[in-house]
Amino acid sequence: MFQILMDILGSVYMEVVIFFLLIAYFLTHRRDPRMVASSINFLRVLLLLIIFLYFIWSWATLIPPSLRAASVIGMFIINCYLLYNIILSRLERPYRDALTAIGEHPEKHEELHGIWHYGKRFYSGFYLFQSLFSGTNPLHFLSNLATERVRDDIKDELHRYGVENHLITLEMMVGYLKSQLACDPTLPAEFKDLMDKTVGDFVKHPWIAENANEFLRIATESPENLHFPEWMAKFETCVREYKK
């Protein structure tokens, strides 16, 4: 069975059919906005076409059988490259759909689970070959890079929709504190009631809410722009501990 499959893939006529089917797929989906990273531009398609036609010409001319086999192998590699990009495009589509959903409905935090799931899967495939030559553990390389890229994509998508200032707010932080307070079984009921009222009163003042939201925005988008004594002292302490 395996030999039959290899004979089919080793046929130059089959390679030609596969190549033009793959090219037709990319030309059909070239305007798909969800293929941001996995799309192949027209110049690259043209270059692949020229190289593929050169392999066909080399195979068709009177050259030694060994060189004919090399031409077929070259066609096979080009088809594998195109197939790899098709797989990436299929992985990227649900990821971009999830990003669009969180941009249009930032209040639906459950969409974030889909973004991280699809995003890590897509970028793991996208940087698969780079991870093999990274000089580090490929799994760690893919995990760290995918996390960084997904985080940047979420930020860019929210910025594009103009809702990045509403994702992490004082109200959300207060909601988190109250949920943690209610779920903590070690705290007495009287203390929970007191802290719940204290946290609720804290967020009611407009001046506190405005400045706390601004702090959270800067800390999320550009923490390096935070300048006040407590922050700088903490930063310098972290730097000194890192250098030790």
pLDDT tens per residue across all 244 residues of the chain:
444 545 555 577 888 888 888 888 887 777 777 777 666 667 777 888 888 888 888 887 756 766 777 888 888 888 888 888 888 888 888 888 888 887 777 666 667 788 888 988 999 988 988 888 888 888 888 888 888 888 888 877 777 766 555 556 677 777 777 777 788 888 788 887 888 888 777 777 777 777 777 777 776 666 656 666 665 566 566 656 545 5
Domain that holds residue 123: 2-165
pLDDT of residue 66: 67
Same domain, 71 and 27: yes
pLDDT of residue 190: 82
Domain boundary among 106, 141, 165: 165
pLDDT of residue 70: 81
Q: For residue 168, give both structure tokens.
A: 């992490």
218/215 Cα distance (integer angstroms): 5
Q: What is the pLDDT of residues 150-202, one digit of tens each?
A: 888 887 777 776 655 555 667 777 777 777 778 888 878 888 788 888 877 77
Same domain, 62 and 116: yes
Number of domains in the chain: 2
Domain boundary among 121, 146, 165: 165
pLDDT of residue 53: 87
Same domain, 101 and 177: no
Let me know: does 80 contact 129? Beta carbons within 8 Å: no
Let me know: does 170 contact 212? Beta carbons within 8 Å: yes
Let me know: does 126 contact 142? Beta carbons within 8 Å: no
pLDDT of residue 156: 78
Same domain, 59 and 116: yes
pLDDT of residue 1: 46
Domain boundary among 165, 185, 212: 165
Same domain, 99 and 205: no
Same domain, 161 and 178: no
Give the burial string for 34-64 (b: 16+ CB within 10 Å, else e): bbeebbbeeeebeebeeebeebbebbeeeee
Same domain, 141 and 39: yes
57/11 Cα distance (integer angstroms): 15
User: What region, left, alpha or beta, does residue 63 occupy, with left being phi > 0 and alpha being psi -120 to 50 degrees?
Assistant: beta
